[in-house]
């Protein structure tokens, strides 16, 4: 069947002859581990967004770059779609397999190839866990700054593909700001190096273009990351508020004071109570919201900044401000925040994690809007998020066993993202678009912008074989989804005025 690029991206995939593909793979790559029995495929049928499931046709587990090259060349020749997967912790269905495709697991590429303390970089394979880089760099007094809450499990290849963020990205930048170089294999098996060992390189910035491309442009086989010296001192302040909107306003006040905290996170009452029950972090369970503000650097600066932030927080209406007494308490404050997602998982059969980013000044209005939408849809929402970046993570609590609740949770999530776009924000801050938010891309971008995305995709992958059906909606899909279509960035959102 001659299938058009556009149709393929809409999920219309040609039937692949599994037996023929298996035979060709075995002949070309006799030592490649391949899974093809139904029970072996089952563990791979979803990523961290478990509401979306689909078993892959085949799973392959290469260990060498040449195997990846041969595999991609073969899939290219046979027109078989390929989905790359790292650790599978993604929350937007980016690594969701295709029934008519190969799932390419990169988890066995887990060697740290080089740590260069003088050059302050690490060269690693894509399956290396995010936290493992900082652990390996620690003896040199260095660390890798982007720290997703999933850092104990997620892979650096997945971080590059999602442009992952974390608590410390407010001050130190996202993944894209902490990369020097990435080696990728294209769908026709070519090896390309994007970026360089130097700070800048001529030509288009393909490294930035590739970062966050969600496995649609190539497969990452090596990553060179920047390492930073560990700050001499880090202190954390916890501020309690009796009103969520006051806490939201305090976030902008701190930045307006000219201070960039190492991390500035917010939790509302539902997430405070869930985390406290789980971790016993010492959180005030009666507070409507808390802010955790970390200040890092040299001792004298940190001391002074703590005093200034304390003043700003109290002026903004904080009912209490506590400086963590020692390293133990600081670690506990952060443990509560980092475990907030699993903590919320303990108080609800299911939760759906949203990921929208808004301009900081809009925090109070959007938090208020989320509360109203939560009442309207009859579903509880816990807010725990990177407040300094305006990167919100509303967690919608639901029970998938109750008829219609999943659909209601999805509809509520869609409305929250529309609200983010309407106030000048975006439908994702760090979790990516994947399969989950593909319709909301029609709200975020107009047809000219989406056409440009397709042109970039086609330059790397003209047949649309890498991760089709994710990240970029076709114009056809947007037309079907017409109710939300936007023109030149203006989302019609008649309801907005009420928030
Ligand atoms: C509890 C929890 C907390 C989280 N907290 C955060 C957070 O604070 N910040 C944040 O940014 N994210 C967070 N995430 C989401 C997730 O961990 C990140 O998106 C992470 O970057 C995914 O990495 P992974 O290795 O699991 O990738 P996967 O889930 O395996 O894949 C993600 C995407 O990357 C692509 N991909 C994977 N490897 C490659 C490769 N080698 N080459 C090309 N494409 C590839 C896949 O095709 C897919 O599109 C969280 C997830 C969980 C479960």
pLDDT (tens, 9 = 90+) of the chain, 499 residues, equals: 345 556 666 666 778 899 999 999 999 999 999 999 999 999 999 999 988 899 999 999 999 999 999 999 999 999 999 999 999 999 999 999 999 999 999 999 999 999 999 999 999 999 999 999 999 999 999 999 999 989 999 999 999 999 999 989 999 999 999 999 999 999 999 999 999 988 888 899 999 999 999 999 999 999 999 999 999 999 999 999 999 989 999 999 999 999 999 999 999 999 999 999 999 999 999 999 999 999 999 999 999 999 999 999 999 999 999 999 999 999 999 999 989 999 999 999 999 999 999 998 899 889 999 999 999 999 999 999 999 999 999 999 999 999 999 999 999 998 999 899 889 999 998 899 999 999 889 888 888 999 999 999 999 999 999 999 999 998 888 887 764 544 433 444 445 555 5
| Pocket lining: 106 vs ligand 1, CB cutoff 6 Å | yes
Distance 163 CA to ligand 1 centre (A): 9
Query: 237: closest CA among 303, 340, 310, 311?
Result: 310
Q: 432 C-alpha to center of ligand 1: Å?
A: 9
> From start to end of 230-333, where are the E strands?
233-241, 263-268, 289-297, 320-323
Distance 41 CA to ligand 1 centre (A): 20
Say which residues have a Cβ less than 8 Å from residue 273's Cβ, sequence separation at least 6: 285
Place of tokens 């497969």: 219
d(CA 404, CA 398): 10
Ligand 1 atom closest to the Cα of residue 90 is 29
Question: Which helix H or strand E contains 374, and what residues bound it?
Answer: helix 363-377
The CB of 154 under 6 Å from ligand 1? The reply is: yes
Question: Strands 102-105 and 82-85: what pairing?
Answer: parallel
Q: Which of 64, 98, 162 should be mutated for ligand 1, with most atoms under 8 A from CB?
A: 162
Cβ burial of 154 (10 Å; 0-12, 13-18, 19+) is buried
CA of residue 483 to ligand 1 center, whole Å? 30
Nearest alpha-carbon partner for 354 in 425, 402, 283:
425
Give 149 Cα–ligand 1 centroid separation in angstroms: 11
Q: Which residues have C-beta within 8 Å of that of residue 361, sequence separation ≥ 6?
A: 252
For residue 491, the model assigns a pLDDT of 42
Ligand 1 test: best mutation among 56, 69, 72, 86, most atoms within 8 Å of CB? 86
* CB half-sphere exposure, 364, CA atoms < 13 A: 12
Distance CA(468)–CA(448), nearest Å, equals: 20
Does ligand 1 have an atom closer than 6 angstroms to the CB of 389?
A: no
Assess whether the C-beta atom of 84 lies below 6 angstroms from ligand 1. yes
93 ligand 1 Cβ < 6 A: no
Residue 176 CB–ligand 1 contact under 6 Å: no
> What distance in Å separates the CA atoms of residue 23 and residue 21, rounded to the nearest whole number?
5
> Which CB contacts under 8 angstroms, 24+ apart, belong to 492-498?
493/418, 493/419, 493/421, 493/422, 496/419, 496/422, 496/423, 498/372
Domains of the chain: 8-105 (3.30.43.10), 112-229 (3.30.465.10), 233-343 (3.30.70.2190), 348-498 (3.30.70.2740)
299-315 helix and 244-256 helix, angle to the nearest 10 degrees: 140
Q: What is the rounded CA–CA span in Å between residue 141 and residue 134?
A: 10
Instruction: Identify the pLDDT of residue 476.
Output: 82
Strand partners, 225: 122, 179
94 in ligand 1 pocket by Cβ < 6 Å?
yes
Tell the residue nearest (CA) to atom 7 of ligand 1: 148
Q: Which atom of ligand 1 is nearest to the CA of 86?
A: 30
Query: Is the CB of 56 inside a 6 Å radius of any atom of ligand 1?
Result: no
Predicted local distance difference test score (pLDDT) of residue 6: 60
C-alpha 244/C-alpha 367 separation (Å) is: 7
Q: Where are the beta strands (DSSP E) in 287-446?
A: 289-297, 320-323, 350-353, 356-357, 381-385, 391-392, 394-398
Q: Would the CB of 219 count as within 6 Å of ligand 1?
A: yes
pLDDT of res. 493: 47
Beta carbon of 150 within 6 Å of any ligand 1 atom: yes
User: Cβ-count burial of 300 within 10 angstroms (0-12 exposed, 13-18 middle, 19+ buried)?
Assistant: exposed
In angstroms, the CA 38 to CA 58 distance is 9
Query: Rounded to the nearest 5°, which phi and psi values hold at 345?
Result: -60, -25
Given this model, what pLDDT does residue 7 score? 61
Task: State whether the beta carbon of 430 lies less than 6 angstroms from ligand 1.
Answer: yes
């Amino acid at each position: 069947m001659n299938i058009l690029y556009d149709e393929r991206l809409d999920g219309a995939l040609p039937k692949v002859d599994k037996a023929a593909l298996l035979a060709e793979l075995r002949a070309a790559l006799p030592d490649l581990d391949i899974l093809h029995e139904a029970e072996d495929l089952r563990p791979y049928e979803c990523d961290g967004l478990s509401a979306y499931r689909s078993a892959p046709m085949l799973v392959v587990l290469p260990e060498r770059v040449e195997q990846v090259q041969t595999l991609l060349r073969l899939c290219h020749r046979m027109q078989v779609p390929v989905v790359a997967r790292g650790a599978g912790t993604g929350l937007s269905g980016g690594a969701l397999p295709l029934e008519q495709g190969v799932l390419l697991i990169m988890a066995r590429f887990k060697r740290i190839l080089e740590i260069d303390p003088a050059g302050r970089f690490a060269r690693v394979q894509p399956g290396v866990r995010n936290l493992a880089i900082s652990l390996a760099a620690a003896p040199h007094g260095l660390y890798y700054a982007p720290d997703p809450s999933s850092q104990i499990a997620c892979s650096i290849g997945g971080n590059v593909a999602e442009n992952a963020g974390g608590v410390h990205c407010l001050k130190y930048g996202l993944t894209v700001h902490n990369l020097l170089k990435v080696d990728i294999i294209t769908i026709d098996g070519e090896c390309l190096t994007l970026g360089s060992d130097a700070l800048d390189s001529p030509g288009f910035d393909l490294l930035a273009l590739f970062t966050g491309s969600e496995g649609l442009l190539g497969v990452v086989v090596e990553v060179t990351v920047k390492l930073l010296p560990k700050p001499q001192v880090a202190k954390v302040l916890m501020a309690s508020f009796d009103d969520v909107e006051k806490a939201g306003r305090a976030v902008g006040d701190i930045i307006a004071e000219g201070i960039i905290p190492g991390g500035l996170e917010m939790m509302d009452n539902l997430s405070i109570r869930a985390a406290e029950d789980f971790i016993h972090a010492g959180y005030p369970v009666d507070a409507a919201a808390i802010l955790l503000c970390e200040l890092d650097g040299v001792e004298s600066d940190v001391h002074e900044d703590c005093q200034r932030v304390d003043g700003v927080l109290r002026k903004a209406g904080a009912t209490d401000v506590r400086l963590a007494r020692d390293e133990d308490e600081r670690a506990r404050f952060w443990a509560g925040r980092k475990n907030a997602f699993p903590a919320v998982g303990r108080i609800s059969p299911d939760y759906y994690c949203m990921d929208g980013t808004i301009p900081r000044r809009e925090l109070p209005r959007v938090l208020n809007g989320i509360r109203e939408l939560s009442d309207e849809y009859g579903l509880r929402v816990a807010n725990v998020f990177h407040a300094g970046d305006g990167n919100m993570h509303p967690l919608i609590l639901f029970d998938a066993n109750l008829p219609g609740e999943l659909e209601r949770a999805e509809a509520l999530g869609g409305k929250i993202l529309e609200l983010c776009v309407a106030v000048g924000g975006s439908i994702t801050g760090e979790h990516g678009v994947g399969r989950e938010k593909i319709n909301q891309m029609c709200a975020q971008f107009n047809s000219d912008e989406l056409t440009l995305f397709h042109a970039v995709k086609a330059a790397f992958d003209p047949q649309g074989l890498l991760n089709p059906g994710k990240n970029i909606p076709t114009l056809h899909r947007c037309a079907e989804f017409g109710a939300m279509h936007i023109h030149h960035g203006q989302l019609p959102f008649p309801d907005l005025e009420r928030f």
